[in-house]
């Protein structure tokens, strides 16, 4: 016998939970280095434009599917049309693949939190600290398991006592920390050793579009980066928003909540760049801004070390903030899997959480060992080289997510029709302000963009820059 379906207590609980899912490592870690790589303001303009069109389309679609069917991602698509039940399977596989490696990275963040809190932040600035940590055989596994257990504990408590309660506490704290670090980053004054660079100088590099040396192909790749970032930033195409939508009460304003999630997420993504890029520019110059994925774990500790006593405090606050963001996101990823197991198999929440927790732990151990005992490098179709973690990330984010999103657009655009989503989103008399845009996006523009993104992930347009 399946459990009675829970629901968020109100729209505020839903928005904070959905925003907590969206505001994760994708925003705090990935957004700044993409902005630094892709011409600063140029990336920002393109990203915001896509968020208001492409992102909005996927977000309102998935939440509407969840609320209309009152089913998690595993079974919701089949309720709309049995021929598209395969989308539910795909929507369950994606968070299943993401969960283990996300908890591994969450363990890395936890390690840095402990390092700074115990006064050893200066050690984290060493060139070998990060590589020595992830290549050790036991420590990454321990931190991974701790982070996974924290995540499972929240999910075990359920929608209201677990997910909603956590989000209502952590999200306001998270926002205050982000704003505080952003203000501090803007006020940094460089010394003679840094050529007098200031935080405001770095901010201008971040927000002013830089087209120097860029050709049409480069701009196209920026568009692809921004579109790929949207998956991370608003948690679409991974089953999460369908699942959270199933807990959203019929009487609450869906369109207002979607708009609030858009605004919250875009502000946090922007502030993530404000936190990181000005500080990196002051202490490491333009060269430091090309640190790529290592920006958070390698470049930031070096910056905190150069700040002296203030850097120790800021470092603690920064990694606590990143830990909170990682936890709210990992909770949403696990909930997508657990909810699917409950809906499909009719098992209890506790049993589903335990089963998935054990599976994620085993897979997480294998991923951790991918940096030492099981180390190898594989050339991926998009031109990058990766270990086990990178392979999991590539399959889930670069291949399966565009396929799921495109399948969802086809289902709603041509089978169930956009009218289904529009009626669900306005069932209480709400206004659907971007109705014509939505119709065009879900039927034509989004599927084409997703096809291009998918082909790009297969290396059709050349290697990653």
Q: How far apart are CA 46 and CA 335, in angstroms?
A: 31
Structural tokens at position 463: 């290697």
Q: How far apart are CA 12 and CA 171, in angstroms?
A: 11
* 54 touches 446 (CB < 8 A): yes
Check residue 40 and report its DSSP letter.
B
Instruction: Show me where the domains of the chain are located.
Output: 11-368
pTM over cut 0.85? yes
Q: pLDDT 10s digit of each residue in the chain, 465 long?
A: 345 678 999 899 999 999 999 888 878 878 988 998 898 899 999 999 999 999 999 999 999 999 999 999 999 999 999 999 999 999 999 999 999 999 999 999 999 999 999 999 999 999 899 999 999 999 999 999 999 999 999 999 999 999 999 999 999 999 999 999 999 999 998 777 778 899 999 999 999 998 888 889 899 999 999 999 998 888 999 999 999 999 999 999 999 999 999 999 899 989 999 999 999 899 888 887 776 667 889 889 999 998 888 899 999 999 999 999 999 999 999 999 999 999 999 999 999 999 999 999 999 999 999 999 999 999 999 888 899 999 999 999 999 999 999 999 999 999 999 999 999 999 999 999 899 999 999 999 999 999 999 998 998 886 555
Q: Quickly name the fold that domain 11-368 has.
A: Hydantoin permease (1.10.4160)
Q: How far apart are CA 390 and CA 380, in angstroms?
A: 9
Per-residue buried b or exposed e for 246-272, using 16+ beta carbons within 10 Å of the residue's own CB: bbbeeebbbbebbbbbbebbbebbbbb
Q: Is 193 helix (H, G, I), strand (E, B) or coil?
A: helix
Q: Residue 392, Cα to own-chain centre: how many angstroms? A: 15
Alpha helices in 370-445 (DSSP H): 388-393, 401-410, 418-425, 435-440
């Amino acid at each position: 016998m399946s459990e009675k379906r829970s629901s968020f207590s109100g729209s505020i609980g839903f928005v904070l939970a959905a925003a907590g899912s969206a505001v994760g490592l994708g925003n705090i870690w990935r957004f700044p280095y993409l902005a630094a790589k892709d011409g600063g303001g140029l990336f920002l303009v393109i990203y915001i434009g896509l968020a208001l069109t492409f992102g909005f389309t996927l977000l309102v679609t998935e939440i509407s599917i969840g609320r209309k069917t009152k089913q998690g991602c595993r079974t919701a698509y089949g309720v709309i049309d049995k021929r598209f039940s395969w989308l539910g399977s795909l929507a369950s596989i994606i968070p299943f693949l993401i969960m283990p490696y996300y908890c591994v990275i969450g363990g890395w963040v936890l390690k840095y939190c402990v390092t700074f809190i115990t006064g050893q932040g200066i050690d984290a600035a060493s060139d070998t600290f990060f590589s020595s940590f992830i290549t050790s055989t036991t420590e990454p596994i321990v931190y991974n398991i701790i982070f996974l257990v924290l995540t499972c504990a929240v999910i075990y408590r359920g929608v209201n006592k677990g997910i909603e309660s956590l989000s209502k506490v952590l999200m306001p704290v998270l926002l205050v920390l982000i704003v505080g670090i952003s203000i501090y980053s803007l006020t940094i004054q460089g010394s003679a050793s840094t050529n007098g660079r200031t935080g405001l100088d770095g901010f201008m590099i971040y927000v002013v579009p830089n087209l120097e040396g860029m050709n049409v192909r480069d701009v196209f790749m920026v568009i692809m980066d921004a579109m790929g970032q949207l998956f991370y930033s608003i948690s679409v195409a991974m089953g999460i928003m369908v699942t959270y939508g199933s807990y959203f009460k019929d009487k609450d304003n869906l369109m207002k909540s979607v708009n609030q999630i858009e605004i919250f997420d875009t502000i946090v993504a922007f502030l993530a760049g404000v936190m990181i890029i000005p500080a990196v520019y002051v202490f490491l110059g333009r060269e430091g801004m090309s640190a790529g994925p290592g920006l958070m774990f390698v470049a930031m500790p070096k910056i905190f070390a150069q700040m002296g006593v203030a850097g120790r405090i800021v470092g603690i606050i920064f990694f606590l903030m990143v830990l909170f963001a990682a936890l709210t996101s990992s909770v949403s990823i696990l909930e997508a899997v657990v909810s699917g197991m409950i809906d499909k198999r009719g098992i209890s929440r506790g049993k589903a959480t335990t089963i998935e927790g054990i599976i994620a732990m085993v897979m997480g151990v294998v991923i951790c060992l991918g940096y030492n005992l099981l180390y190898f490098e594989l050339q991926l179709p998009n031109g990058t080289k990766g270990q086990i973690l990178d392979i999991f990330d590539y399959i889930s984010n670069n291949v399966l997510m565009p396929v799921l999103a495109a399948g969802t657009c086809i289902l709603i655009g041509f089978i169930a029709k956009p009218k289904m989503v529009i009626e669900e989103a306005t069932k209480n008399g709400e206004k659907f302000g971007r109705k014509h845009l939505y119709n065009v996006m879900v039927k034509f523009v989004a599927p084409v963009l997703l096809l291009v993104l998918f082909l790009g992930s297969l290396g059709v347009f050349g290697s990653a820059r």
